[in-house]
């Protein structure tokens, strides 16, 4: 998206070519950007500048790409044109009002289904207005949408976040030449301010490996017997490292080597060694830094000694599926004692004695599918999933990677 809003040619290496990325590329291409793949994760984007997107001739179908849809709403809010967005059944069920509400304050108009759901029409603002907006809930997606809309507004657009969320957008905006200030307010909240109407300059990018994707082989290595794996070049953004913090509290052996900086993001190689895990309490305040990793953490907790209590997981109810219920049902189907109390998930571990043998309903959710396939590497009996097709949404190389690590996945029987 930022390459499309920059002036000049941006070259990207290391792109994970999942369905979400391909949908985003198609959307930017439909609005006049030059977007092409050069092979092996290399891409070329020719931008049109801030405010330079053209009205697409057709509806933009974002598939299952929730992050892309929400961020694109921000981009489009600052363009004087009408655009229609839709997605698959899962994306059409997800709430979008949390994004459209602040964007309406900036001058954009939205026609949506109940609760702001897709399909929706966006009428972008001819003259977007900068705002200061305090997030009612921690959400990097909402924050990013507002900042992207602020690119087209004069003056300064500010987002106040009571709890820190992932800051990839701020880092990438700076990498493209925008001015972004991050401060701490008197009440401890973060203040992120963007100076509007910059001329973004095209720049080359090497994409670090995603910690949310790395989470699956990490946990697979930890729960297997006598395993040791190395995952090179993993992005370790401090606002995304909650899973590593939690696993280490549980006793996991995860070593960071060859630390470096790539395009403003901290990166290191991870060496993971199997060993015993112990149950812990994960505070609600950690949720923003690991919200996508709770399904695979729950799998790790199933193999830990004692109880693991994950607190404050209400946001999981409005992900690609109701992940809180999906995780509980999947664990129960495979012989694990688990309880939901309010927004807390409590998993009672069975180290060395997780039965498995169940078939998990993934509910169109890629992370549920991958989490329970990982669970099957260490259960007494195989774990099945009813649908593997959602995996390509975010991790098209997942099955190959797991096979290379020694997992046996029967696609016909999954």
Whether residue 236 contacts residue 43, with contact meaning beta carbons closer than 8 Å, is answered with no
Specify the DSSP class assigned to residue 381. B
User: Is residue 260 within a helix (H) or strand (E), and if so which, with residue range?
Assistant: strand 253-262
- Residue 292 annotated in active site: yes
Q: How far is CA 232 from CA 75, 131, 257, in A?
A: 33, 41, 9
Categorise residue 245: left if φ over 0, alpha if ψ from -120 to 50, beta otherwise: alpha
Residue in 20, 292, 365, 392 annotated catalytic: 292
Rg, the chain, Cα only: 21
Instruction: Report the distance separating Cα 206 and Cα 226, nearest Å.
Output: 33
Q: What gap in Å lies between CA 199 and CA 177, rounded to an integer?
A: 8
**119 and 86 Cβ atoms separated by less than 8 Å:** yes
Q: Looking at residue 79, what DSSP letter applies?
A: S
DSSP 8-class letter at 176:
T
Tell me if the bond preceding 119 is cis, omega within 30° of 0.
yes
Q: Please, which residues bridge with residue 360 across strands?
A: 385
Show which residues are catalytic. Answer: 292
């Amino acid at each position: 998206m930022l390459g499309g809003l920059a002036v000049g040619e941006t070259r990207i290496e290391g792109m994970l070519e999942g369905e979400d990325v391909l949908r985003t590329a198609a959307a930017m291409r439909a609005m006049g950007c030059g977007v092409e793949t050069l092979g092996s994760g290399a891409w070329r984007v020719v931008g049109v500048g801030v405010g330079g997107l053209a009205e697409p001739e057709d509806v933009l179908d974002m598939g299952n790409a929730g992050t892309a849809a929400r961020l694109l709403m921000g981009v489009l809010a600052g363009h004087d044109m009408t655009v229609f967005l839709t997605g698959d059944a899962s994306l059409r069920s997800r709430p979008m009002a949390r994004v459209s509400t602040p964007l309406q304050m900036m001058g954009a108009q939205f026609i949506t289904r109940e609760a702001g759901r897709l399909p929706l029409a966006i009428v972008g603002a001819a003259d977007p207005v900068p705002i200061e907006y305090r997030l009612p809930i921690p959400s990097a997606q909402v924050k990013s949408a507002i900042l992207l809309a602020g690119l087209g507004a004069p003056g300064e657009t500010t987002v106040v976040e009571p709890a820190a969320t992932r800051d990839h957008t701020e880092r990438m905006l700076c990498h493209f030449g925008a001015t972004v200030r991050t401060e701490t307010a008197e009440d401890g909240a973060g203040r992120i301010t963007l100076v509007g109407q910059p001329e973004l300059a095209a720049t080359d990018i090497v994409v670090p490996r995603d910690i949310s994707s790395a989470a699956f082989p990490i946990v697979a290595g930890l729960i297997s017997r006598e395993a040791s794996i190395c995952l090179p070049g993993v992005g370790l953004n401090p606002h995304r490292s909650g899973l590593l913090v939690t696993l280490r509290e549980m006793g996991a052996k995860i070593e960071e080597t060859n630390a470096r900086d790539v395009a403003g993001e901290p990166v290191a190689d991870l060496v993971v060694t199997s060993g015993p895990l112990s149950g812990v309490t994960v505070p609600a305040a950690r949720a923003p830094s690991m919200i996508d990793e709770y399904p695979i953490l729950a799998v790790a907790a199933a193999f830990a000694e004692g109880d693991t209590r994950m607190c404050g997981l209400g946001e999981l109810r409005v992900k690609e599926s109701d992940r809180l219920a999906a995780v509980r049902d999947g664990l129960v189907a495979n012989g694990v004692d688990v309880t939901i109390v309010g927004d807390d998930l409590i998993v009672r571990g069975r180290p060395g004695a997780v039965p498995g043998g169940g078939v998990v309903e993934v509910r169109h959710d890629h992370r549920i599918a991958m989490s329970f396939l990982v669970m099957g590497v260490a259960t007494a009996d195989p774990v099945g999933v009813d649908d593997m097709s959602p995996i390509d949404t975010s991790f098209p190389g997942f099955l190959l990677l797991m096979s290379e690590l020694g997992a046996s996945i029967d696609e016909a029987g999954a």
